[in-house]
């Protein structure tokens, strides 16, 4: 088509300046006409506005004192699954300045400073926000005024036009640190959030969910901003409301967490850094999401002071880290039931085939010894005994027969190596290695030794506690599994109508023979009944299936022995335990990780037992007393 159009024209067409000049003149004339019409359109618009609608706009202009004010919505509360209050709003007062009504801002700030304490940080934050906010909208200067400060300001506030004391609601977490890693907290909107949010929706709002449920369900909790047109007198003082679109308050949220179980989980873990995640395998509900250490979210709401934040942020124990979602640990031996299942599925072993364990394993043609945790060896082991006694040599052999890529392919179905998709922000995916992965990440090829390490849950394999709980739940349900979730229901605060959140099923994990599930579950039962975790089986009123794990923090030399007494605490092994119960009708799946806890059977397993006891037998401690209201404490002490 192109050639057809171009070819009739001679290729060496001369430029003809006279003709082109005339062409230009014609085109310019057309444009003059277009310009005339364009400006005529504007002129007619002016006639419409200034002559035809003059009276209507005069009325609006005379009544002129119409201002639009945003009406920020009330944030929804957060409850646990039984209706125990986890986050609420308390009335408080803050000082606000509307830029366009202030004559001399510096002088005003100086005068205010003489009446109440203003920190440099307050002023700097105020100036930053004022620079980004339209002049006719007020910007908060100081939050949480005390009664005394209000009294001091109120006396001569009339002298400062544009300065107002405003009532607002402050977020409060009555249980303090309990459940903080699940609930999260709100804080003042910062600069990066400022760019992300819709300024209209957030006008009049100062806070936004930062972490946890407060962040992931920000939209539900927040509601919709309303607005009102207010008639004011010439100084801008409101006289009456003309037109009002009420805000839509945020939804109350009910979490799947049982705060009593959460308290148990946090308590048993006390003294260790680590995490405990408990799921209901039947629907993916998170029953407890504990991460130690914890911290009090309340100071974050109105800006934590710098020193406290630095302490929290630089502490070796990293209390701000949500280990349940973001801690990546080698799963250690807790991966073995899944490895066994993979072996059965690909037919490289069956439940009867055995391996003779001499206490170490060597690759053909290599002198490097891959050790078993039991130096004397387990002797002849079948799959059942290999799981119950956690025989490493059996799984070295199994992993080598499988190869890493088949392992990767099968275990990927359990959401290992990728986020489970839980409705909480910041979840990590861990690492489920494969040959391709190693080439991409390290630009190295995969070695047989890497496969052996992966077979016992070491090496490149990394999982989060949530992933471990999730895969354990999948075993408990024989491949039926759900995306973990923390939202149980949302409730309209006006109508008090609850909407239950639906379970989010994941594709079924299919195996060639359903009996494979029973084989590995039997192995996990024997972990408790006569296996590595036999101690926690004592006196249990229900049957448990579990698996202990011990993850190395550092690698021993070929001739060294692991000696807990002689190692510094931060070099001790991580203790892991995964379990579900009751075996016949699983109602809870638990994953425990105690960093540097030593052995999985001695440290982690008893913790899991207490969590399962609490849930299955209703054995709870009393909840801590809700924190006293903040204003009861004298302000001067801060």
Partner 1 sequence: MPFLNRSLPRTLRRMNRNNEGWFFRLIRLDLPLLLGLLMVSGLGLTVLYSAGQQNMELVWGQGMRLGLGFAIMLTLAQLPPRYFRLWSPWIYLVGLLLLLAVMVVGDISKGAQRWLDLGIVRFQPSEIMKLAVPMMMGWFFAEKPLPPRWLHLLGGVLIMAIPFILIAEQPDLGTALVVGSAGAFALFLAGLSWMIMFGLGLLLGAGVPLFWTFVMHDYQRQRVLTFLNPETDPLGTGYHIIQSKIAIGSGGIYGKGWLNGTQSHLDFLPEGSTDFIFAAFLEEFGLVGGCLLLILYFFIIARALYMASRAPDTYTRLLAGSLTLIFFLYAFVNTGMVSGLLPVVGLPLPLFSYGGTSLVTIMAGFGILMSIYSHRRTLTR
Reading the block at residue 308, the tokens are 């406290």
135 near partner 1, rule: CB under 8 A: yes
CA distances from 138 to 164, 246, 247 (A): 9, 19, 18
Q: Which of residues 114-133 bind partner 1 (CB under 8 A)?
A: 132
User: For partner 1, which residue of 41, 239, 500, 633 counts as binding (CB under 8 A)?
Assistant: 41
64 near partner 1, rule: CB under 8 A: yes
Q: How far is the CB of 13 from partner 1 (least distance, A)?
A: 4
351 burial type by CB count under 10 A (0-12 exposed, 13-18 middle, 19+ buried):
middle
17 near partner 1, rule: CB under 8 A: yes
57 near partner 1, rule: CB under 8 A: yes
32 near partner 1, rule: CB under 8 A: yes
User: For partner 1, which residue of 23, 436, 497, 500 counts as binding (CB under 8 A)?
Assistant: 23
CA distances from 623 to 179, 260, 266 (A): 12, 7, 12
Phi, then psi, of 392 in degrees rounded to 5: -70, -40
Contact indicator for 264, 610 with CB cutoff of 8 Å: yes
58 near partner 1, rule: CB under 8 A: yes
Q: How far apart are CA 585 and CA 476, in angstroms?
A: 9
CA distances from 74 to 155, 225, 345 (A): 30, 9, 53
Q: How far apart are CA 575 and CA 595, in angstroms?
A: 6
234 near partner 1, rule: CB under 8 A: yes
Binding region for partner 1 (CB under 8 A) out of 10-18, 114-122, 445-453, 477-485? 10-18
Binding region for partner 1 (CB under 8 A) out of 87-95, 134-142, 291-299, 533-541? 134-142
46 near partner 1, rule: CB under 8 A: yes
371 burial type by CB count under 10 A (0-12 exposed, 13-18 middle, 19+ buried):
middle
571 near partner 1, rule: CB under 8 A: no
The DSSP element (H or E) to which 252 belongs, if any, is strand 252-255
Contact indicator for 583, 544 with CB cutoff of 8 Å: yes
Out of 203, 216, 333, 601, pick the active-site residue. Answer: 333
Between 58 and 380, name the residue whose CB sits nearer to partner 1. 58
206 near partner 1, rule: CB under 8 A: no
Q: How far is the CB of 3 from partner 1 (least distance, A)?
A: 9
Q: How far is the CB of 29 from partner 1 (least distance, A)?
A: 8
- Taking residues 403 to 442 in sequence order and writing x for each that binds partner 1 by CB under 8 A, - otherwise, the string is ----------------------------------------
568 near partner 1, rule: CB under 8 A: no
Q: How many CB atoms lie within 10 A of CB 596?
A: 18
User: For partner 1, which residue of 173, 227, 482, 615 counts as binding (CB under 8 A)?
Assistant: 227
Q: Is 308 a catalytic residue?
A: no
Binding region for partner 1 (CB under 8 A) out of 30-38, 146-154, 309-317, 345-353? 30-38
Contacts 24+ apart (CB under 8 A), 476-479: 476/281, 476/521, 476/545, 476/580, 476/586, 476/589, 477/281, 477/282, 477/586, 478/514, 478/517, 479/508, 479/509, 479/510, 479/511, 479/517
136 near partner 1, rule: CB under 8 A: yes
Q: How far apart are CA 454 and CA 475, in angstroms?
A: 19
Reading the block at residue 537, the tokens are 């089986």
User: In b/e form, how buried is each residue of 303-319, taking b as 16+ CB within 10 angstroms?
Assistant: bbeeeeeeebeeeeebb
Pick from 186, 174, 219, 216: nearest CA to 80: 174
Q: How far is the CB of 604 from partner 1 (least distance, A)?
A: 47
50 near partner 1, rule: CB under 8 A: yes
Q: How far apart are CA 331 and CA 456, in angstroms?
A: 8
- Taking residues 163 to 202 in sequence order and writing x for each that binds partner 1 by CB under 8 A, - otherwise, the string is --------------------------------x--xxx--
Phi, then psi, of 330 in degrees rounded to 5: -65, 130
Q: How far is the CB of 212 from partner 1 (least distance, A)?
A: 26
Binding region for partner 1 (CB under 8 A) out of 8-16, 273-281, 313-321, 502-510? 8-16
Beta-carbon contacts of 254 under 8 Å, excluding residues fewer than 6 positions away, are 79, 80, 81, 83, 487, 488, 489, 490, 491, 498
* Half-sphere exposure (Cβ direction) of 149: Cα atoms closer than 13 Å: 22
15 near partner 1, rule: CB under 8 A: yes
User: For partner 1, which residue of 92, 108, 216, 225 counts as binding (CB under 8 A)?
Assistant: 225
Q: How far apart are CA 324 and CA 468, in angstroms?
A: 10
Between 33 and 436, name the residue whose CB sits nearer to partner 1. 33
Q: How far is the CB of 222 from partner 1 (least distance, A)?
A: 15
Between 42 and 632, name the residue whose CB sits nearer to partner 1. 42
Q: How far is the CB of 224 from partner 1 (least distance, A)?
A: 12
Q: How far is the CB of 637 from partner 1 (least distance, A)?
A: 40
User: For partner 1, which residue of 203, 291, 390, 420 counts as binding (CB under 8 A)?
Assistant: 203
Q: Mind telling me the catalytic residues?
A: 333
Residues that bind partner 1 (CB under 8 A): 2, 5-6, 9, 13-17, 20-21, 23-25, 27-28, 31-32, 35-36, 38-39, 41-43, 45-47, 49-51, 53-54, 56-58, 60-62, 64-68, 70, 100, 132, 134-136, 195, 198-200, 203, 225, 227, 229, 234
């Amino acid at each position: 088509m192109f050639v057809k159009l171009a070819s009739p024209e001679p290729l060496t067409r001369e430029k003809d300046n006279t003709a082109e000049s005339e062409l230009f003149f014609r085109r310019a004339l057309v444009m003059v006409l277009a310009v005339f019409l364009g400006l005529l359109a504007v002129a007619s618009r002016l006639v419409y506005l200034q002559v035809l609608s003059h009276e209507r706009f005069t009325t609006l202009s005379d009544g002129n004192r119409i201002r639009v004010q945003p009406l920020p919505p009330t944030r929804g509360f957060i409850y646990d699954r039984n209706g125990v209050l986890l986050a609420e709003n308390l009335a408080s007062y803050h000082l606000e300045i509307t830029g366009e009504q202030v004559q001399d801002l510096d002088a005003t700030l100086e005068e205010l400073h003489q009446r109440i304490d203003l920190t440099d940080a307050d002023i700097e934050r105020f100036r930053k926000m004022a620079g980004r906010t339209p002049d006719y909208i007020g910007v908060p200067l100081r939050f949480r005024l005390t009664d005394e400060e209000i009294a001091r300001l109120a006396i001569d506030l009339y002298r400062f036009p544009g300065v107002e004391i405003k009532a607002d609601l402050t977020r409060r977490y009555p249980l303090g640190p309990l459940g903080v890693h699940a609930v999260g907290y709100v804080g003042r909107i910062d600069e990066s959030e400022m760019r992300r949010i819709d300024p209209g929706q957030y006008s009049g709002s100062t806070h936004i969910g930062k972490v946890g449920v407060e962040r992931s369900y920000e939209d539900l909790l927040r509601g919709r901003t309303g607005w009102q047109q207010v008639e004011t007198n010439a100084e801008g003082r409101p006289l009456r409301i003309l037109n009002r679109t009420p805000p839509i308050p945020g939804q109350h949220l009910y979490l799947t967490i049982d705060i009593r179980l959460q308290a148990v989980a946090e308590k048993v873990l006390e003294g260790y850094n680590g995490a405990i995640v408990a799921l209901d395998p039947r629907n993916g509900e998170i029953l407890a999401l504990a991460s130690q250490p914890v911290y009090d979210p309340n100071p974050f709401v109105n800006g934590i002071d710098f020193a406290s934040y630095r302490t929290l942020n630089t502490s070796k124990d990293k209390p701000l880290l949500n280990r349940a979602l973001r801690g990546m640990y080698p799963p250690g031996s807790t991966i073995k039931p899944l490895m066994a299942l993979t072996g059965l599925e690909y037919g490289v072993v069956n439940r009867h085939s055995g391996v003779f364990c001499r206490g170490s394993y060597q690759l053909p043609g290599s002198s490097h010894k891959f050790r078993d945790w039991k130096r004397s060896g387990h002797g002849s082991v079948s799959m059942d005994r290999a799981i119950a006694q956690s025989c490493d040599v059996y799984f070295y052999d199994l992993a080598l027969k499988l190869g890493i890529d088949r392992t990767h392919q099968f275990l990927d179905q359990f959401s290992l190596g990728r986020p489970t998709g839980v409705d909480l922000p910041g979840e990590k995916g861990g690492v489920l290695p494969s040959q391709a992965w190693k080439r991409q990440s390290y630009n190295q090829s995969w070695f047989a030794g890497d496969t052996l390490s992966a077979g016992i849950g070491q090496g490149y394999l990394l999982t989060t506690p949530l992933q471990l709980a999730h895969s354990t739940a999948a075993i408990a349900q024989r491949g039926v599994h759900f995306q973990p979730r923390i939202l149980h229901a949302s409730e309209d605060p006006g109508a008090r109508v609850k909407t239950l959140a639906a379970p989010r099923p994941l594709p079924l994990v299919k195996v060639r023979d359903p009996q494979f599930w029973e084989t590995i579950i039997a192995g996990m039962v024997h972990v408790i009944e006569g296996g590595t975790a036999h101690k926690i089986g004592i006196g249990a009123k229900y049957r448990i299936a579990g698996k202990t794990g011990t993850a190395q923090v550092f690698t021993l030399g070929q001739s060294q022995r692991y000696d807990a007494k002689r190692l510094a605490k931060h070099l001790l092994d991580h203790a892991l335990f995964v379990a579900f119960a009751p075996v016949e009708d699983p109602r809870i799946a638990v994953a425990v990780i105690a960093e540097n806890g030593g052995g999985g059977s001695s440290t982690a397993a008893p913790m899991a037992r207490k969590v399962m006891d609490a849930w299955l037998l209703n054995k709870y401690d009393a909840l801590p007393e809700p924190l006293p209201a903040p204003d009861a404490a004298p302000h001067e002490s801060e």
